[in-house]
Structure 1
């Protein structure tokens, strides 16, 4: 199996499993503990993603990316099996206990985009990592589609219906493990001749710029996205409208990732980030101006919200892949991802409080402001090297 295809397969399988597992886990928790706790499985999964990203960066710097990918995806299989056992035993605690390990697998999927960049020439790094982001499209479509047939199979086997999607998720992640295990053993091995513990600081402008931009975009996206279904529900919209609006958002988040990669390679990561910030700002203004428009205003806002996040995410990742010294790269990438995923959990909780205080408009205002904050950091940065593609074409 070719390395890029193996990485793509791993991310596609992992994202499929995560979408199905997190959705099913939320349904199980509602059934056993009430709607107030429905967000717990996803919050724990996100925290696991943050912890996994932090550790995966250090481990990748020491042992190479192939080892970490196999380890993280393997942890996700174990987590899904723990959750499956919890469903069989009627234990919500065991169900939730498996979610951090599934989050570890998600951190492996994030690491894959940097691995893809390592495998590519300088003028193609942005596009290479964007294909791994695009793999999330597979999960967005296949994950929900997996739930009903897996539940039916479980019922046919006289098991709890919702245990089926959990077990199916474990099997799908096992395919991801097999895919990344086929990667060359020397892939992205530690850099020889460079101290492994070379000092790294997030104050380094090359790290700080992408870090602040990606965190700002993540907070803006998660806050508005989390409250959009609530806003639609309060205005009497059914699940069909909610599903359609979220589909528009997911298309923006993943489907256009190769375009973001091309922009990053052609004009540089900073240009992609600036474009993403502008798109997020337009999304916020659209949501503020049309909070009661479920068939036009909100879907457009959600699409722009997704694509603005994508531009910032791909552009920031491209900067970290291209501008950092090899000795610092893996740890810095893991640290940035840990910050991004850690703030996701906080953004989800904060969005609920803001919605209670001032409704959807206040959430959109806060999201737009968070998206603009990185301009203060990115704008002060010294000019970065010209995009490699421009140099090559001369």
Structure 2
């Protein structure tokens, strides 16, 4: 067996972590303020979370074009285009708020989602040329950059929201665009990874790959993990303000949540190497269920914040674990289309979840939003359990 040198993969993972620190600061700004600005601008309060839903739809819609662009131009050039798009998104969203146009603001958040489709693929780019053993850690390296984003994004939102008198939050979205530009010089440091000669072919048909049980379980686990996190997180700031808590408390709650989303990344890669992808993902799903349990136990600031922290940690374990599972489902020549298919399915579902969250919160309330978590978590845990059981049975048959 040829030993793979992970030095270039490690270097690129660190660079991508730096870019993630600024690129991943965009979602906290949109999520923490999108619903609040929506309440102010939307003609119907039930549409308050539409900007956040369109952000997630923008991620889904951007995954395949982003993958195609990077396939033709390379990772670095594609990411530079994405960062420029992120700057444009901030300008459009800020302009929509300034003129009081809900649809323009929604267009800005949709474009911000397109930008995030590039940022989301950083975690896959970090595994290019990496050994199987290093892949979980490479993904974790990139996700650690999100820890800085968890501080940068909400703080930019808080300290710039009153930058323009009479037009609250315009400065916050201008700041979002500026953060995308700051990532540009970091992205220029990215180095291309030489791929095997076989990697230039087409590989297996996509339909054959996505029908494999391992891929189905991996994408289901990642999709449910991300969708439930978005489902609850999107509703949380609006629910907090509706319960009499301040916008500042809601924004800080999202900051703690995003810190919890990325903070465990220091150890998640090692945890996966120790207990496996499936067990790590299952643990993350159990923590998401625990978050719903806390949310159902009370409406104080502490209940909201603790629930959001547990939700963030659960997302980290479930998302990184599921991502590592996906990287074992394709060959080098199949990476672009499989990664794009995974993210398209995931973020398409997340968009529906975030939009449904606003509707459900308006019609049925915060408690119903959290009760929905339990059956979905149970379903995926059963899928993971069956997959692991089948894998062990096949291993015993081979060894026998």
Q: Please indicate the TM-score interval, normalised by the length of the shorter structure.
A: 0.7 to 0.9
Displacement of 1:121 in angstroms is 3.2
Aligned partner of 1:250 among 249, 258, 265:
258
Corresponding residue to 2:61 among 36, 51, 61: 51
Does the Cα contact within 8 Å between 1:291 and 1:361 map onto a contact in 2? no
Task: For 1:294 and 1:142, locate their aligned partners in 2 and report how far apart those are by CA, in whole Å.
Answer: 22
Match of 2:398 in 1: none
CA deviations over 1:9-63 (Å, ceiling 9, x no partner): 2111112244335656656555444572432322222111111123333444555
Q: Distance in 2 between matches of 1:112 and 1:88?
A: 32
Q: Is the partner of 2:365 in helix, strand or coil?
A: helix
Question: Matched residues in 2 for 1:128 and 1:279: separation?
Answer: 23
- Kindly indicate whether the alpha-carbon contact (under 8 Å) linking 2:253 and 2:304 is maintained by their aligned counterparts in 1: yes
Please, which of 78, 102, 112 is the counterpart of residue 102 of structure 1? 112
Instruction: Give the corresponding residue for 1:267.
Output: 275
Cα separation, 2, equivalents of 1:242 and 1:140: 14
Distance 1:260 1:153, change over 3 A: same
Q: Does 1:342 align with 2:342?
A: no
Q: Distance in 2 between matches of 1:34 and 1:67?
A: 40
2:395 alignment partner in structure 1? none
Aligned partner (choices 290, 294, 299) of residue 286 of structure 1: 294
1:10 to 13, 19, 28: 19
User: Is the 8 Å Cα contact of residues 52 and 103 (structure 1) preserved in structure 2?
Assistant: yes
The residue number in structure 1 matching 2:4 is: none
Runs in 1 of length 4+ with deviation above 6 angstroms? none
3-state SS of 1:374 partner: helix
Aligned to 2:3: none
Q: TM-score when scaled to structure 2?
A: 0.82
Aligned CA distance change for structure 1 residues 192 and 220 (closer, same or farther; 3 Å):
same
Aligned to 1:139: 149
Spell out the pairing of 1:1-394 with structure 2 (5 A cutoff).
2-20=11-29, 29-33=38-42, 36=45, 37-61=47-71, 63-86=73-96, 91-118=101-128, 120-147=130-157, 149-150=159-160, 162-184=169-191, 186-187=192-193, 192=198, 194-196=200-202, 198-201=204-207, 202-239=210-247, 241-288=249-296, 290-295=297-302, 297-355=303-361, 358-381=364-387, 382-383=390-391
Change in CA separation of 1:346 and 1:172 when aligned onto 2, cut-off 3 Å: same
Find the aligned partners of 1:29 and 1:242 in 2 and give their Cα distance: 15
Deviation at 1:108, TM superposition (A): 1.2
Go from structure 1 to structure 2 and tell me whether the alpha carbon gap of 1:42 and 1:113 turns closer, same or farther (over 3 Å shift).
same
The Cα of 1:246 is off from its aligned counterpart by 3.4
* Post-superposition offset of 1:302: 2.6
TM-score by length of structure 1 reads 0.83
Separation in 2 of the partners of 1:356 and 1:33?
14
Aligned-partner SS, 2:193 = coil
- SS of residue matched to 1:373: helix
Shift of 1:379: 2.5
Q: CA deviation at 1:259?
A: 2.0
User: 1:134·1:254 contact (CA, 8 Å) conserved in 2?
Assistant: yes
Deviation at 1:97, TM superposition (A): 2.5
C-alpha distance in 2 between matches for 1:245 and 1:93: 27
Shift of 1:335: 1.4
Deviation at 1:243, TM superposition (A): 4.4
Structure 2: 5+ residue stretches without partners = 1-7, 393-400
Contact 2:17 2:143 (8 Å CA) reproduced: no
Q: How many residues align?
A: 378
For 1:32 and 1:4, locate their aligned partners in 2 and report how far apart those are by CA, in whole Å.
40
Q: Provide the aligned C-alpha RMSD in A.
A: 3.1
